[in-house]
Amino acid sequence: MIDKNAIVHPNAEIEEGVSIGAFSVVEQGVKIGSNTKIESHVIIRENTTIGADNHIYQFCSIGEGPQYVGLEGDPTSLVIGDRNVVREYCTLNSGTPVGGGVTQIGSDNFLMAYVHIAHDCQLGNHTVFANCASLAGHVEVGDHVIMGGFTLVHQFCRVGAHSITGIGSVCLKDVPPFIVAAGNTASPFGINVKGLRRRGFSSDQIQLLKWAYRQIFRSGLDVSVVVKRLEERLDECVHIQLFIDFLKSSKRGIIR
């Protein structure tokens, strides 16, 4: 199922059921899992690993070298999980030696047209990136995150699980889990109630997450005091642990 006009290196590992469209290029060292569909005019650079049942649309650049000043040509890689949809003109870069060498994309993600994932980023599972959302280098994105169109995330920032950003958001600091963030620069606008309900969170759990949100963003208390308050109510809602872990590990600080 490889088009006669595609260029596939003989050392590339192509599993059963893979289709590759016309004028696509697959370089050496590439691994593509079963039933993945590569449309026409896609470039997949060496040392890229793509899992099963993915669909990569035309004119995407997959595994291209990082846009990193001072890069010396050391081999790095891009690893993509299963069942991802990557729409037209997306650019997914490989890692850098100083950032661990690997850009990692999980499974069941939907990247709309013109999305950019820079070097050393780490994406979870079940995320949605609307058109032109872009991550600078070393960004971490948790599971079930939704990025609004034209969202920009500064390098080394983290975006917590179950959060959502509004269109045109500019995130210069960490976005905690469960929240709605919007604006330039991004500010918090409450809990992502609709998204949590869709994922089966109960009303009681959502109410406790709202309480946790108020402690973090409206109490005016020091982070260490807020963490202690959250820990006191862990037995009522285990999901509060995500808030606690995120606050304890934040290096850039959170949006305000």
**Percent helix, strand and coil across the chain, each rounded to 5?**
15, 30, 55
Catalytic-role residue among 137, 142, 148, 166? 137
Question: In this structure, what are the phi and psi dihedrals at residue 143, rounded to the nearest 5 degrees?
Answer: -70, 150
CA pair distance 150, 129, nearest whole angstrom:
9
- Give the C-alpha distances (Å, rounded to integers) separating 62 from 35, 47, 66, 135, 252: 18, 10, 11, 15, 29
- Is residue 168 within 8 Å of 185, Cβ to Cβ? no
CA pair distance 160, 125, nearest whole angstrom:
12
Catalytic-role residue among 116, 119, 154, 239? 119
CA pair distance 122, 20, nearest whole angstrom:
26
Catalytic-role residue among 81, 116, 120, 126? 120
Q: Is 119 a catalytic residue?
A: yes
Half-sphere exposure of 233 (CA within 13 A, CB side): 19
∠ CA 251-135-174, rounded to 5°:
25
Question: Six-digit token pair at 253?
Answer: 């600080």
CA pair distance 171, 186, nearest whole angstrom:
5
**How many CB atoms are located within 10 Å of the residue 224 CB?**
9
Question: In this structure, what are the phi and psi dihedrals at residue 243, rounded to the nearest 5 degrees?
Answer: -60, -50
Q: Which residues are catalytic?
A: 119-120, 137
